Amino acid sequence: MKMIKTAVVGAAGYTGGELLRLLVHHPNVDLLWIHSNSQKGKRLEEVHPDLIGDASLSFTDEIDRNNLDLVFLCLPHGQAKPFLEKHAFISDTKIIDLSTDFRDESNGFVYGLPEVNREKIKAAQKIANPGCFATGIQLALAPAIQQNWIKSSLHVTGITGSTGAGKKLSETTHFSQRNQNVSVYKLFTHQHLKEINQTFKQLTPGFDQQILFVPYRGNFSRGIWLTAYFPYEGSLEEAYEAYSKFYQDAAYTYVSKNDIDLKQVVNTNKGLVHLKKEAGQLVIYSAIDNLLKGASGQAVQNMNLAFELGEKTGLQLKSTAF
């Protein structure tokens, strides 16, 4: 069995921790080192207590570029690019970056949304992992964009768990602010809109409709729920047929004719999509786990593709269900 010699840079946060939970149990991964400037010298279970007994690793602030097949970058947005300028890995080392820095596909990176770019990911040396809201919105709307159904502004609302804001405490993430509360942020200006538009133009060159996205902070820890709608003249059956065809080869995106809920996807790498037609509008519900399909799970899915493994390897996870 081929073992992928792997390292994780920035492994102390929510995304890095979730990635470690997947990698320490992945049958094809040999995790050589885990990096953190703030937690150097600490054992894995001191930073991520739930991983006690799962691996004998300690955090380091040193970067060993030797003998690596793959490095994951879980650094804050804006830090991956200067990190790679300072630490040049050999050309044979694949890189999967979970920040926004290379989602424009600059510096030779491929945008890592498997439902759209599977073949490109398989051949890529450098992969830019999509954002969480970006993943959920693209899964909700990509088939409709490809069918060129959208002729006017798109309306999208989405609510995300508190882990989407990262581990560092802020005014809008501490318990007394988040508990029993909902608020809007980055109205119509969310940073993920850039990569969403990039993919939509890839699917339909010339796409120029405005995406009016209202993101909400939710009073729960993880998961993303999205609702999108637009005027639609076709039948619901035609919509389901187009969506089912688009996702027929997708490993983790499922089109459900039954109503969906958020707990179906929490703690899994699944993306669920459900369609309705009301008042002349096609309404799409989309649900993902922001830390898995929206971040670390999708990163492992991309690793599996890039190293010619089964796409679901190491990702057979159980939802919380209730």
Active site residues: 132
Tell me how far CA of residue 6 lies from CA of 71, 72, 136, 282, in angstroms. 6, 8, 28, 43
200, 130 contact by CB (below 8 A)? no
What single-letter DSSP state applies at residue 129?
P
| Phi, psi (degrees; rounded to nearest 5) at 270 | -80, 150
**Total length of the chain:** 322
b/e sequence 290-306, b meaning 16+ C-beta within 10 Å = bbbbbbbbbbbbbbbbb
Measured between alpha carbons, how far is 216 from 186 in angstroms, rounded to an integer? 9
Tell me how far CA of residue 307 lies from CA of 20, 28, 34, in angstroms. 18, 10, 20
